Homo-oligomer: A and B are copies of this chain.
Amino acid sequence: MANDRAYDDLMAFQRETEALAQISGRLGWDQETMMPRGAAEQRGEEMSAIEGVLHARRTDPRIAEWLDRAKPADAVAQAQLRHIRRSYNRMTKVPAALAQEIARVTSVAQGIWAEARAANDVAAFLPTLADVIRLRREEAAALAQGGDLYDALVDDYEPGATAASIGAIFDRMRPRLVALRAAVLASPHQPAALDGSFGADAQLRLTRDLASAFGYDWSRGRLDIAVHPFSSGSGNDVRITTRVAESDPFNCFYSTIHEVGHAAYEQGIDPDYRLTPLGQGVSMGVHESQSRIYENQLGRSRAFTGWLFGQMQERFGAFGISSPEEFYRTVNRVQPGYIRTEADEVQYNLHIMMRFDLERALIKGDLAVQDLEAAWNDRFLADFGVAVDRPSNGMLQDVHWSVGLFGYFPTYALGNVFAGCLLKALKADVPDLDARLAQGDASPATGWLREKLQRHGGLRLPVETITQACGFAPDEGPLLDYLEAKFGEIYRL
């Protein structure tokens, strides 16, 4: 009985912590969607207060006692304890003073980065970047306890993944993607660009229908506008955001579908796991697999874009593209560009691999911050065949490093790799997938993903989650085969 009580006490304590974490997340949502601008400073204090409460709870010494005494009754309880133990170990290994210093420095660093990017002034950012790297290396050393520093950082976002395992996948992907990119851009069969102006209100109405088509549960969420779209929350309150530009409706539509992928994962988790460690997506990579398969493999498929074409004609009138096939090619148009967040399916992973190699070298100490710009520009020229014209199009383009997110980038590409595997398994299991997508109905895909993957939340490790869903261990093969087939056809390679 003593054992039973320890597990129950721990889970009751944890449940309150999860509820407080949801509150913190909702404050973040509010900040990006609703908060009046004059509230920023006060909000900083509010966030700091709730983060203080969460930190105290997550490092509460009673957790160690409960973990010692708790005996899990089943596999679910085992998984709960695994998450709690993992979190507790990570939180307590890092000295409080270091954690505070990282929080302080990175909160200032983001502003310095933003100014440096606006001014295209690399030198103004480098001292701060060096500080951030130094602190994250210290943190990694505390976590790794003799092991690889970068692995310790990656593990926070993608439990079980290592630089070596990711590097092996990326090394196999890179040559095929470089070749595909070059062939696509050299093809004489370039799709037309989308041209024209598309009313914001009509875009938002259509984007709500897209969310519905992909199974977003409006009774447990809502859609708002944000500068950088995101999804937020777990369980029964999972909110999404999008953005609207009249010249670029695809941005609105595919941002929405992407965030619906994240949200569908959270909304799809077994309700029994709500407000427990299992009640959230298991890793950034698995999360990204959901957003990516919704956005790309499904949302940018010939079948679904055929339906979308009809919807756009109906709602916006003729807009210069005359057939579903032409529209499909336009949606999947590959264009040279510097910016990761604007990259298409072919080029996106090349951006990630570059950041992965550079940040690994920065953390290892093989690359000094003053050499980063040159290393970035050399690599960009090698992979993309273009010289970077200014730092805001180069090493200053992403916020991640300024806020200390090292080890995070590779999860984006892992998500694409996982999505490739999931599509292969989904197509084998659901033969009428395309027929249904062509009617604007993604529910067979959402249903399959929910059953095979989403409902399990954090029950299994990330790679095991994908393996169980697909029936095979994930690798880069299905994604590359899919990309070469899809873009080979579009560009008549």
CA of A275 to CA of B239 in the docked complex: distance in angstroms?
A: 29
Interface of A is mostly: helix
Taking CB atoms, residues of chain B closer than 8 Å to A49 are 16-17, 19-20, 23
B42–A275 contact, CB under 8 A? Answer: yes
Shortest CB-to-CB span from A277 to chain B, Å, is 15
Q: Which residue of B lies closest to A217 (CB)?
A: B38
Please state the number of chain copies in the assembly.
2
Pick from B20, B22, B36, B235: contact of A218, CB below 8 A.
Answer: B36
Taking CB atoms, residues of chain B closer than 8 Å to A72 are none
CA of A48 to CA of B236 in the docked complex: distance in angstroms?
A: 16
Taking CB atoms, residues of chain B closer than 8 Å to A275 are 42, 45
Taking CB atoms, residues of chain B closer than 8 Å to A46 are 19-20, 22-23, 26
A50–B23 contact, CB under 8 A? Answer: yes
> How many of chain A's residues have a CB under 8 angstroms from any CB in B?
38
A37 within 8 A of B: yes
A53 within 8 A of B: yes
A237–B43 contact, CB under 8 A? Answer: yes
B39–A236 contact, CB under 8 A? Answer: yes
Shortest CB-to-CB span from A174 to chain B, Å, is 43
B23–A222 contact, CB under 8 A? Answer: no
A52 within 8 A of B: yes
For A384-414 the 0/1 string (1 means CB < 8 A from B) is 0000000000000000000000000000000
A208 within 8 A of B: no
Within 8 A of B (CB), among A300-319: none
A35 within 8 A of B: yes
Pick from B17, B22, B45, B222: contact of A42, CB below 8 A.
Answer: B22
A191 within 8 A of B: no
A221–B50 contact, CB under 8 A? Answer: no
Within 8 A of B (CB), among A209-230: 217-222
Taking CB atoms, residues of chain B closer than 8 Å to A45 are 15, 19, 275
CA of A435 to CA of B210 in the docked complex: distance in angstroms?
A: 54
A30 within 8 A of B: yes
Taking CB atoms, residues of chain B closer than 8 Å to A37 are 219
B235–A42 contact, CB under 8 A? Answer: yes
Pick from B15, B27, B237: contact of A36, CB below 8 A.
Answer: B237
CA of A17 to CA of B52 in the docked complex: distance in angstroms?
A: 11
Pick from B27, B39, B219: contact of A220, CB below 8 A.
Answer: B39
B274–A36 contact, CB under 8 A? Answer: no
Q: A23-B23, A23-B46, A36-B239 are in contact. List 12 more A-B contacts (CB 8 A).
A: A16-B49, A17-B49, A19-B45, A19-B48, A19-B49, A20-B46, A23-B27, A23-B49, A26-B27, A34-B34, A36-B218, A36-B237
A-B contact pairs, 12 of them (CB 8 A): A19-B42, A19-B48, A20-B53, A23-B23, A23-B50, A26-B30, A26-B46, A34-B34, A34-B222, A35-B237, A37-B219, A42-B275
